[in-house]
Structures are given as C-alpha cells and as structure tokens.
Amino acid sequence: MVPGDHFFPGLAQDWPHTRQCMRMNYVPDPALIERGVQILAEEVERAYCEAALRE
C-alpha cells in the first residue's frame, strides 16, 4: 500500500482526496493481493474502533 498523495503532483489547489486515497501495487500472486486487502480491512476496522473509543 502506498499513500495516494504521491500520485497527484502539480495540482493547482488542495484536493482532500489526495490524502484520503491509497494505491495498492498488484503482484502476480493472487494470494498476496488477497492478503494485502485483508490486512487493509483489519487496519480500517482497528482505526474505526479506536475512534469510537475516543468519543
């Protein structure tokens, strides 16, 4: 996973999407792609849980 802001060089104005997106590099092995998506889902779930605890 790579932060998406590296893929928006030269924008004339700030665009929030550049900080909200991520890029996933595809690898030949489908199992590695599946594992990467699983890890991402776990991290998103953890972030939501931590945010809920702070409320």
Listed by start position, the domains of the chain span 24-55
pLDDT of 10 over the 90 cut: no
- Distance from C-alpha of 32 to C-alpha of 26, rounded to nearest angstrom: 9
Does the predicted model carry a pTM greater than 0.95?
no
Residue 38: predicted pLDDT: 94
Residue 19: predicted pLDDT: 81
Tell me which residue has tokens 């030269």.
10
pLDDT of 3 over the 80 cut: no
HSE-CB of 36 using CA atoms within 13 angstroms? 14
| Tens digit of each residue's pLDDT (9 = 90 or more) over 16-52 | 888 888 777 777 788 988 898 899 899 999 999 999 9
